[in-house]
């Protein structure tokens, strides 16, 4: 359908993309463009010189570095949790979590942990990685879902599962429609029925939470969840995933997640960078995020002023709603011809018939780049391409 050629870029991911010819990039999840800061790059380079770029082996066999310890302690403390464990990516973290909570672990004769009776309840619009993690569980027996962001729908499912060992899986910020669930109410329902809660906070980590920002109430509710998974790709701009929660559970994940035993984890420079950036954004220079969110709000206003059909929720993820998959791909290519990369999200990333162009503003985008996108979009609307 015209999306098959993998883009190649010779520069740090951010507001531009390409090799010989640079184009404006609204696809990068490196929201804050922090790798271009000298202090951040120095942190990454220094950690590379000290620890190297290879992990040396799996976490369980090779161990971790002081940079990993610092990162996990820093993030756990920020999230209000007892402990944390890191993984190579957020997808690996999700797979490791579901494997740990769903499988039976036979350690030696007569010693086993049996989880074959655990069931999972997902928000219908949960990320692909979460559904992938649970693909071995039979739907209707060990895997259930509820309507997107519906507290009432969640309760209806949990009523029917009363007495079972249940894990409820939701996200903090859904990247296709930009919505944020009613976290307190979701956790209230989980606690009412004795279910554990797992929140995938891949998209809002370090962006939302403080009292002066949007969605503070929802993020206070998220902190009550049993487990929180964060991704280092968005605000941090690096690679890796991390799960924070009760210490006894986190410690057990070292052996039973599978991801710690059979694949390498976060590279040490990324761990050092994550710890540094977490402290930077949470405590030293939170205005970096405040300035970014103000820029997003202004960008969103410009899109509304030209009547682009964008999603309603005012998060840093804004999608142009297209619907038809083929038309969405055509628009992607049309924007590309204008020197703008705006990625199409089709099924299974979006619902069938619910294709969108997902726009991510980067802190490094210039006024000229933003105005060019608005002008092109306005023309596409006039030409009825949108």
Decide if 332 contacts 343 (C-beta within 8 A): yes
Q: What average pLDDT score do residues 274-280 get?
A: 98
Residue 12 pLDDT > 50: yes
* pLDDT band per the 50, 70, 90 thresholds, residue 1: very low
What class has domain 38-284?
A: alpha beta
Q: DSSP character for 36?
A: G
Decide if 125 contacts 177 (C-beta within 8 A): yes
CA distance 105 to 116: 10
Residue 336 pLDDT > 90: yes
Q: What is the structure's pLDDT at 108?
A: 57
Decide if 337 contacts 380 (C-beta within 8 A): no
Residue 112 pLDDT > 80: no
The CATH architecture annotation of domain 16-31+286-382 reads Alpha-Beta Complex (3.90)
190-214 pLDDT, tens digit per residue, is 999 999 999 999 999 999 999 999 9
* Residue 113 or residue 272, greater confidence: 272
Q: What is the structure's pLDDT at 3?
A: 60
Q: Where are the beta strands (DSSP E) in 109-153?
A: 111-113, 118-123, 143-146
Q: What average pLDDT score do residues 354-362 get?
A: 96
Please list, in sequence order, all residues whose beta carbon lies within 8 angstroms of the beta carbon of residue 164, skipping any fewer than 6 positions away.
117, 119
Chain centroid, CA 137 distance in Å: 23
* pLDDT band per the 50, 70, 90 thresholds, residue 353: very high
Return the exposure string of 335-345: e unless at least 16 CB atoms fall within 10 Å of the residue's CB, then b.
Answer: beebbbbbbbb
Q: What is the structure's pLDDT at 59?
A: 84
Q: β-strands 16-18, 165-171: how paired?
A: unpaired
217-269 pLDDT, tens digit per residue, is 999 999 999 999 999 999 999 999 999 999 999 998 887 777 777 888 899 99
CA distance 222 to 226: 9
* pLDDT band per the 50, 70, 90 thresholds, residue 56: confident
- Classify residue 66 as exposed, middle or buried by CB count within 10 Å of its CB (0-12, 13-18, 19+): middle
On average, the pLDDT of the chain sits at: 93
* pLDDT band per the 50, 70, 90 thresholds, residue 115: confident
Q: What is the structure's pLDDT at 265?
A: 87
Token code pair at residue 228: 């929180």
Token code pair at residue 354: 């619910």
Q: What average pLDDT score do residues 149-178 get?
A: 96
What is the residue extent of each domain of the chain?
16-31+286-382, 38-284
Please list, in sequence order, all residues whose beta carbon lies within 8 angstroms of the beta carbon of residue 64, skipping any fewer than 6 positions away.
265, 271
Look at residues 180, 184, 245, 237 and name the one whose alpha carbon lies nearest to residue 213: 180
* pLDDT band per the 50, 70, 90 thresholds, residue 58: confident
Percentage above 90 pLDDT, the chain: 84
Residue 298 pLDDT > 70: yes
Topology agreement, domain 16-31+286-382 and domain 38-284: no
Q: What is the structure's pLDDT at 385?
A: 85
Q: Which of 62-71, 96-105, 270-279, 373-382 has the lowest mean pLDDT?
A: 96-105
């Amino acid at each position: 359908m015209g999306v098959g050629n993998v883009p190649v870029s010779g520069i740090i991911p951010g507001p531009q993309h390409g090799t010989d010819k640079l184009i404006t990039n609204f696809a990068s999840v490196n929201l804050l463009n922090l790798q271009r800061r000298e202090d951040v790059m120095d942190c990454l380079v220094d950690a590379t010189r000290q620890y190297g770029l290879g992990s040396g082996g799996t976490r369980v066999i090779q161990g971790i570095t002081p940079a990993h310890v610092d990162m996990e302690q820093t993030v756990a403390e920020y999230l209000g949790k007892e402990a944390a464990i890191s993984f190579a990516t957020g997808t690996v973290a999700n797979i490791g979590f579901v494997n740990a909570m769903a499988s039976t672990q036979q350690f030696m004769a007569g010693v086993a942990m049996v989880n074959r009776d655990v069931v999972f309840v997902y928000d219908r619009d949960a990320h692909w990685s979460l559904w992938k993690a649970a693909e071995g569980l039979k739907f209707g027996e060990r895997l259930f879902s509820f309507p997107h962001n519906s507290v009432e729908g969640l309760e209806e499912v949990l009523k029917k599962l009363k007495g079972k060992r249940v894990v409820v899986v939701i996200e903090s910020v859904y990247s296709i429609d930009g919505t944020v669930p009613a976290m307190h109410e979701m956790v209230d329902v989980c606690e009412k029925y004795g279910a554990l809660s797992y929140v995938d906070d891949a998209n809002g980590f370090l962006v939302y939470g403080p009292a002066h920002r949007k969605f503070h109430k929802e993020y206070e509710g998220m902190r009550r969840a049993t487990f929180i998974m964060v991704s280092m790709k968005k605000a941090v701009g690096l690679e890796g995933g991390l799960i924070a929660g009760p210490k006894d559970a986190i410690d057990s994940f070292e052996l039973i997640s599978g991801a710690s035993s059979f694949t390498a984890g976060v590279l040490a420079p990324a761990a050092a960078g994550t710890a540094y950036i977490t402290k930077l954004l949470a405590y030293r220079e939170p205005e970096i995020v405040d300035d970014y969110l103000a820029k997003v709000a202004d960008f969103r206003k410009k899109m509304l002023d030209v009547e682009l059909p964008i999603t309603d929720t005012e998060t840093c993820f804004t999608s142009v709603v297209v619907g038809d998959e083929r038309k969405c791909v055509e628009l992607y290519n049309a924007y590309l011809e204008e020197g703008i990369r705006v990625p199409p999200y089709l099924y299974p990333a979006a619902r069938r018939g619910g294709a969108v162009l997902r726009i991510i503003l980067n802190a490094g985008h210039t006024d000229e780049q933003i105005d060019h996108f608005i002008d092109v979009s306005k023309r596409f609307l006039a030409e009825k391409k949108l």
